[in-house]
Amino acid sequence: MRLDPIEKPKGFIARMAYWGTRRRFGKVMTPMKVILARMPGSLRFSNAIAKFELNGIRLEPTLHYMLGVLASMINGCDFCTDLGRSMAIREHLGMEKFSALSEYRTNPLFSPRERAALAYAEEATRNRRVSDATFEELRKHFSEEEIAEITWVNAIENYYNLLNIPLEIGSDGFCAIVQARNDDRVDSAS
């Protein structure tokens, strides 16, 4: 990592943000300790994006998280790949498709609708534009509102990737944390 994490932030709001993410995710996210601790004014912006993504996107959750994980995999953002997969585990979405994302074009697990969205996100991530053929295939399966959401989710994921990759922020191990929490819940219920 190119910048050391700030474990004890200055300011009440930053300390509350650390507390909230520790409570929700089991630890304070490294990007928060590296970037937001140095730019506390960006906390409100980041929080607004996260709230909108969690509450404002109407795409089915599996597709929503697959779009983000695919972009992160393409870009090589281990932090975002781990976080996206952990959200899928947390939502009990099943990991079979997430584990097969690299072969979404040929794997029978994926519907034509999912393939169209993933191909669009892949092409946009790799090239920053998409061909007419890719867009027309997307249009066959999604409304204009859904296309806007797919584009937004992909753009936001690429934004987060660009925050983490240059600073060499890697995985925080969120998949293991959420899996352990799920296992503890199962053990408690038994």
Q: Which pLDDT belongs to residue 187?
A: 79
Q: What is the pTM of this model?
A: 0.94
Q: How far separated are the first and last CA of the chain, in Å rounded? A: 41
Residue 82 lies in a domain: yes
Q: How many domains does the chain have?
A: 2
Question: What is the number of other CB atoms lying within 10 angstroms of the CB of residue 123?
Answer: 18
pLDDT class of 177 with cuts at 50, 70, 90: very high
Q: How far apart are CA 170 and CA 164, in angstroms?
A: 8
Residue span of the structural domain in which 159 resides: 61-164
Structure tokens at 66: 């697959």
pLDDT class of 151 with cuts at 50, 70, 90: very high
pLDDT at 4 over 80: yes
Q: How far apart are CA 1 and CA 123, in angstroms?
A: 29
At 9-43, the pLDDT tens digits run: 999 999 999 999 999 999 999 999 999 999 999 99
113 and 131 assigned to the same domain: yes
109 and 34 assigned to the same domain: no
Give percent helix, percent strand, percent coil of the chain, each to the nearest 5: 70, 0, 30
Q: How far apart are CA 82 and CA 65, in angstroms?
A: 11
120 and 148 assigned to the same domain: yes
118 and 24 assigned to the same domain: no
At 105-138, the pLDDT tens digits run: 999 999 999 999 999 999 999 999 999 999 999 9
Residue 173 lies in a domain: no
